[in-house]
Every structure is written in structure tokens, then in C-alpha cells.
A and B are shown apart, each in its own frame.
Chain A
Amino acid sequence: MDSKQVLKTSSTYTPEAIAAIQERAELGRYMIRGYGALRNVPRFDDLVFLTTSLTRLPLEGYREKCTTKTFIGTRHAKRPMELKIPITVAGMSFGALSYNAKVALGRAATLLGTSTTTGDGGMLPAEREASSKLVYQCLPSRYGFNPTDLKKADAIEIVVGQGAKPGGGGLLLGQKVNKVVAGMRTLPEGVDQRSPCRHPDWIGPDDLKIKIEELREATDWEIPIYVKMGATRVKDDVKLAVKAGADAIVLDGMEGGTAATQSIFQEHAGIPTLPALVQAVEALQEIGVYGEVQLIISGGIRSGPDVAKALALGADAVSLGTATLIAMGCNKPVYIEDYHKLGTEPYHCHHCHTGMCPVGITTQDAELMQRLPIDEATTYVANYLQSLVMEVQSLARACGKSDVHNLEREDLVALTLEASAMAKLPLAGTDFIVGQ
């Protein structure tokens, strides 16, 4: 008698786990890759808005104004950052990204009246020219960091860590360190460039306070100073950054992306953006600086609802990295044969570290970069940012708000137990908050 054969997959040794073991067996080391966490975590999708009906009244969606103006860095700076929208472009280096990608990001941000951010490679002159508001990152590597560019910046972002790799440094593989990239970073051409995990000239928050004063003195207290951190021990870290003198906190959850780091960091270090945001707001409230020190949240934010929920939970603005690259064409189903050469498919590509980006974004190869025309990429990113703003305004109006910053926690409920516990919001249809 024929028995029916049923194939079963082990829940421990899944196809992914088997592939990972066999890849390690071949490489003899951990895996390095780009992009962000692949695993599923509680996120903004697990929240929904309680819009208006009778207890509150909505605003007319296609008529009434809903303002989006946003100020960052009002604590100490003579010239705080004034943005037209509460969405900024996150720091991504020239080196990790191509010249065309950096310039397009700058131009798109300018069109929307918002800021873009430099990255590990220093300030690319064309990026400065393209960006009406440019945040200059002070990273542990200090590649390309100099007082001349510092004085051209509209804000300074001291990078302590990144959501994709909190506590760890990056690794820009040698194939992306071409002559121009190496020159900007004072490195030999073609070597693997290690991004250090800590700053060379300060160690703890007491030192950071003096470092911040140095940067303020060098820029005559004109521009704001942000401190960017990967989300781990959020409450303590935020409080220490505020004590050190930060004008704004940039907090990057574990869904944040990277050009290249160890896969174990992306999947097993840090906490998701949703609970990180909630804890950061609580930390600012506990020390009485909520509203005085602005909070920018980042890490896997992709849509208008994500942005609106972040604002409702207490963020002043959000920052987008990977999503802007996807808007340009990252993972687009074109040049299929080149995805195959990398051993991947469109929608599944996280090979930014190889420098062989099929769509010309995370590459320094001149031929590949030509696949990303600057004008076209600028339009795509600008359109994408514009659509996010329209979505945020729509949700805000539906909640009865004439300013997107008036969205509040009361406008949200959670759909899952995990999201309820992490966001400290009631489960939908109940008054029950998990853990409280």
C-alpha cells in the first residue's frame, strides 16, 4: 500500500538556519551584509488610529490646512533647523552610496524643504551644493571631518551608534573604497575600511559634554547639535545625552539599515523602533525636557502611517534612510541578470556591501552608477517624501488636527499584545494595556 509522503520542516533547523550554518561552514566566519534586520518585530503596523466620528470632528481632507512645519534644535542654537516637513533624510555615506545617489537625496530633500545628512565619508561638495539644509555627521571614524566643512553645516550630528549595529562598527569592503572614496577618508585605495565603534577623543558622557562645547565653540553656537544613538538602553542613554548638552536626540531602532555590518548585529542587537520611541519620550519627560530637546526617530520607517504614529507617540520628526533608497529603485525588478550574479532576486537583495548594486545606488562602479540618473532619482525620492507628507496630513485631519504635531497618544490603540505592552497603549476595543 502506498503511504502518502508529507514533507516536514524543522522549526529549529529551518531552511534559513540550514543555509546559515552551511554558509558559516564555508566562510569560517560570521556573515557580513547590508540593509537592515530581516526578522519580524513589533512595529507601527501593529497600531491603528482612532480617528473621529462624534466625540471629535475631522477636518476637511482636501480643503482645510494641516501644517507640517518642524523645528529641531531650539535648545541652545542661534539658528535652529527649520523644516517644512517632519521627515528628514538620514546619514548615509558617500562611499556606501554612489555620487548620484547622494546628490539626488540632497536635491529631493531641498525640494521638500527638509534636511539630508552626510555620513562616514565626510561632506561631498556636490551634496552640500544640492542640499539647502545639511546635517554634518561627527562619526567615530572622523573620515573627512574637518573644520572647514564643519562651518558649512546647518547642524551637527554626533553619531554614537546606529540601529543596525549598536555597539559595533561598520566595514566598507575594499571594492567600494575607490580612489575618490579613499582620498576623502585618508585611506589607502582598495583596503577594507573599518568604521570604529567609539570616538577617538572622548569615552563617556562627561567627556561628550566637553566635546559638544568644543563643537559649539568652533561653530560659534550657531547651529544645533544632535546626538544619534542605536536603541539599546534607551532611557539611560537619552538622559545622558541630554545631560551632555544635546539639542536633539536621533534614536535609531533595530530595523535601521547599514551599508555593511555583521548580520548578527542586525538580527540580535538593539530593540525595535516602536518601544525605543516610547522609552525615549518617557526619558525626556522624566527629566523635564520633553519639547525642549527634540526627538527624531528612525529605523524601518516606510510610510505615512509610520510617520504619523511616530509623531503621535511623541517624536518631533522621523528620519528615513533605506526607504529613500528603495524609492530610488533599490530592489526594483530591473537588470534581473545582475541580481542573479549576486545570488539573489529583486525584493530580496541586501548586497549593498558588495559594491555591485544592480541599480547603481550602493556602488562606486561608474558603469553601474549610470543606471541611476540623478534627475530621475531626485524625482522619485521627492515624490515619495511628498506622498508620505500627504498621508500624514490625511491621518491628522481625520483625527481632527490642523497641525501634524498635534497627533497624540490618545489617537492610537494597539492590535497585538506585544504592541500594547511596548507602546503602552490599550488593546483595540478594550481599556486594557498589557503590563499595566
Chain B
Amino acid sequence: MHQTVPQQTLIDCANLTTREINQKLKALASESIPTKLLNPAGRHNLAVGITQIAISIAGPVGYYCGGLSDNINIEVFGDCGWSVGENLMSGNITIHGNASANAAASAHGGKICILGNAGSRAGISLKGATLIVTGNVGYSSAFMMQQGCMIVCGNAGANLADSIYEGTIFVGGEINSLGADAKLEPMSDADWQFLEHELAALNISAKDYNFKKVICAKQLYHFKAKDWANY
């Protein structure tokens, strides 16, 4: 018997509460039906705590879009507010616009691409995800990063990678300043190959940028009074 599978479900956010929208998304996720959200109007907490769904959002979103989610694919055609992809476990979030502060905060896995600029503290407490920003990032980005990778094609603000434990940051433009216990390391061939691979999907060639690599200097792994001047 032939079964018709809907190609995409449309949800108009205009007359729905956030609760109603997320309930619909969770119901659709269980059926693996791709979904498009219309009129998001900068609303907070869209598509949070959700698994296994592909969502496109036509317009700007507020805080925590895609937060606490796992195995999702979200595309936002607009700007986004604070902490997009907060604590993401796996999947992809792509923002066709700018992001406010704390993009990908404490994200464990998956990939978050900001096709524009990101504000301060991008990649804060990153725990394993990959954050790509094709524009600039603000101050204190990658603060207390633990694992994962951040790729910034543009410039980075002050105190980049302050107090990181592990992970790697690539910056294609200028770095205003490095934070405590961050250091530059020479780019290797493997690094360039990795960047070419990661950026190819965005139609960006790594060779068009003067990428620099930032890692943890590991000088502050243990609290010692003689290191005081480094804080």
C-alpha cells in the first residue's frame, strides 16, 4: 500500500505560545518530519530540549535556540540571541545572520555555524562541539573552554581563550589579546587541511585567511602562588 509522507510541516508561530510550538516540534520529531517555523519574531527558547528533527526557521530567534538538544538540524534565516545551541549534544545549527553573546555556550558536541558575527563570550565553556563564525567574535570568547574547536574567520576581541583547559581556536583575522594561559602555536599542514575541510561546506577557502592557532599553555593547570601575575 502506498503511503504519503509529508515533505515538510509548516508552523506559524504568530498565534502560538512557546510551549505550544515546542510541543508541536516534539511531536513532529517523534515522526521525523522536517518542519519550518514561520514568524519566529525573535522569540526565546525555540526548539529546546528536542531530539531528531530538522527545522528551518524563517526569521530571527531569541535566547537559547536549539538549547539542550541532541541529534538535530536547525537552520535559522535571521539573527539569533544569546546562547544559541547552549549545551548542544550533537547535530548542526546554522545561523544565516549574526549571533549575540555566548554562542554555543557549554556545547558538548555537534556543529554550530554563525554565518556572520558573534558577540562576546562565543564558545564559552565549550565542551566538545565545533563553533564556526565566519565573521568576528567579541571579547572573552572561548572563556574556560574545555574541549572542541572554534574557528573564527574574522577578528577576535580581547582576552581570547582566557582560562581554557583544552581545545583549539583558529582565528583568520586579528586577535585583540589573549587571555590567561592561552598561547599561539604554529599552524601545521594538518591544521590547514582540517580548516579546508571544515570550511569547504560553507564555500570558504581557508587559504584566503591568515589563520592563527591558539591553544592552552597549560601553565595554570595547578594553582601556584608564583603564577599570580598571570591571572
Decide whether A and B assemble into one complex: yes
In the bound complex, do residue B70 and residue A148 qualify as a contact, i.e. CB atoms below 8 Å apart?
yes
* A202 CB within 8 Å of chain B: yes
* A366 CB within 8 Å of chain B: no
- A343 contacts across to B, CB distance below 8 A: none
- A200 contacts across to B, CB distance below 8 A: 102, 105-106, 121, 124-125, 143-144
* B14 CB within 8 Å of chain A: no
CB closest residue in chain A, given B88: A147
Counting chain B CB atoms within 10 Å of each CB, which of A32, A185, A202, A219 scores highest?
A202
In the bound complex, do residue A201 and residue B106 qualify as a contact, i.e. CB atoms below 8 Å apart?
yes
Residue-wise, chain A 166-200 has the 8 Å CB interface mask toward B (1 for contact) of 00000101100000000001111011101010001
- A141 contacts across to B, CB distance below 8 A: 125
Contact of A192 among B69, B124, B221 (CB under 8 A): B221
Known: A147-B68, A207-B82. A213 touches B89 (CB 8 A): no
- B49 contacts across to A, CB distance below 8 A: 147, 150-151, 214, 217-220
A150→B69 CA distance, assembly (Å): 11
In the bound complex, do residue A210 and residue B45 qualify as a contact, i.e. CB atoms below 8 Å apart?
yes
* A27 CB within 8 Å of chain B: yes
Distance to closest chain A CB from B143 (angstroms): 8
Distance to closest chain B CB from A264 (angstroms): 15
* B79 CB within 8 Å of chain A: no
CB closest residue in chain A, given B46: A217
CB closest residue in chain A, given B47: A217
* B170 CB within 8 Å of chain A: no
* A146 CB within 8 Å of chain B: yes
* B177 CB within 8 Å of chain A: no
Distance to closest chain A CB from B25 (angstroms): 10
Distance to closest chain A CB from B122 (angstroms): 11
Residue-wise, chain B 74-90 has the 8 Å CB interface mask toward A (1 for contact) of 00000000110011010
- B125 contacts across to A, CB distance below 8 A: 141-142, 196, 200
A185→B147 CA distance, assembly (Å): 11
CB closest residue in chain A, given B18: A217
A408→B68 CA distance, assembly (Å): 42
* A435 CB within 8 Å of chain B: no
* A290 CB within 8 Å of chain B: no
How many chain A residues touch B (Cβ–Cβ < 8 Å)?
38
- B226 contacts across to A, CB distance below 8 A: 28
If over half of B's interface residues share one DSSP class (helix, strand or loop), that class is named, otherwise mixed; here it is loop
In the bound complex, do residue B222 and residue A201 qualify as a contact, i.e. CB atoms below 8 Å apart?
no
Distance to closest chain B CB from A257 (angstroms): 20
A185→B127 CA distance, assembly (Å): 9
How many interface contacts (CB-CB < 8 Å) are there between A and B? Answer: 112
In the bound complex, do residue B68 and residue A186 qualify as a contact, i.e. CB atoms below 8 Å apart?
no
Distance to closest chain A CB from B113 (angstroms): 19
- B48 contacts across to A, CB distance below 8 A: 214, 217-218
CB closest residue in chain B, given A193: B165
Known: A142-B125, A171-B223, A214-B48. A150 touches B68 (CB 8 A): yes
* B111 CB within 8 Å of chain A: no
- A218 contacts across to B, CB distance below 8 A: 48-49, 67-68
Contact of B166 among A142, A174, A188, A207 (CB under 8 A): A188
A151→B69 CA distance, assembly (Å): 12
In the bound complex, do residue B64 and residue A210 qualify as a contact, i.e. CB atoms below 8 Å apart?
yes
Counting chain A CB atoms within 10 Å of each CB, which of B22, B87, B223 scores highest?
B87
In the bound complex, do residue A211 and residue B64 qualify as a contact, i.e. CB atoms below 8 Å apart?
yes
* B197 CB within 8 Å of chain A: no
A309→B40 CA distance, assembly (Å): 51
In the bound complex, do residue B127 and residue A186 qualify as a contact, i.e. CB atoms below 8 Å apart?
yes
Chain B, 31-72, CB within 8 A of any chain A CB: 44-45, 48-49, 51, 62-64, 67-70
Query: Ordered nearest first, which 6 A-B pairs have the shortest CB separation?
Result: A218-B49, A29-B225, A28-B225, A201-B105, A201-B83, A142-B106
Q: Which residues of A contact B (CB under 8 A)?
A: 27-29, 32, 141-142, 145-148, 150-151, 171, 173-174, 185-188, 190-192, 194, 196, 200-202, 207, 210-211, 213-215, 217-221
Q: Which residues of B contact A (CB under 8 A)?
A: 18-19, 22-23, 26, 44-45, 48-49, 51, 62-64, 67-70, 82-83, 86-87, 89, 102, 105-106, 108, 121, 124-125, 127-128, 143-144, 146-147, 163, 165-166, 221-223, 225-226, 228
> What are 21 A-B residue pairs whose CB atoms fall within 8 Å in the complex?
A146-B87, A147-B49, A147-B68, A147-B87, A148-B70, A150-B49, A173-B223, A186-B127, A186-B128, A187-B146, A188-B166, A191-B221, A200-B121, A201-B106, A201-B124, A210-B82, A211-B64, A213-B44, A214-B68, A214-B86, A218-B48
